[in-house]
Amino acid sequence: MQRIETLPPVRWARVHPRLAAWIVLSLGMIILLLVEARDVGLLPGQWLALVVACVLVAGACIWIISWEDADDREAAEGVTVPQPEPESVSEAPAKAALEADHKA
């Protein structure tokens, strides 16, 4: 196990886990696209557009997954994000009237 961790690509992936995940997911999606759509008869520009779309979707997936990492980190550190208090129904018209006065 120690020998695997000393390999340069593995060290790079441990330092940059999101980029590594994006690359791996992109490659998997592109390989799947090439295998499944090989007999469709797409033009080169269409292939390029599909490959770019696969890479962008993979990046979006990794970005969304990283949101959970941030939540886990905050929970581990005991950081709580303050939530705004909801306004009562009776305060909303008064606040709107004050804002209208300031604009005028």
Does 8 or 92 have the greater pLDDT score?
8
Q: Coil, strand or helix: which one is 42? A: coil
pLDDT for 75: 74
Biggest CA pair distance of the chain: 71
Q: How far is CA 64 from CA 61, 67, 90, in A?
A: 5, 5, 38
Q: Domain for residue 98, yes or no?
A: no
Rounded Cα gap, residues 62 and 73, in angstroms: 17
Q: Tokens 């390029």 identify what position?
A: 48
Q: Domain for residue 103, yes or no?
A: no
Residue 27 belongs to domain spanning: 2-83
Tell me the pLDDT tens digit for each residue of 44-69: 999 999 999 999 999 999 999 988 87
Q: Domain for residue 79, yes or no?
A: yes
Compute how many other C-beta atoms are within 10 angstroms of the C-beta atom of residue 33: 15
Q: Domain for residue 97, yes or no?
A: no
| Stated pTM of the model | 0.63
Q: Domain for residue 101, yes or no?
A: no
Q: Domain for residue 12, yes or no?
A: yes
pLDDT for 84: 67
| Averaged pLDDT for residues 82-95 | 64
Total number of domains constituting the chain:
1
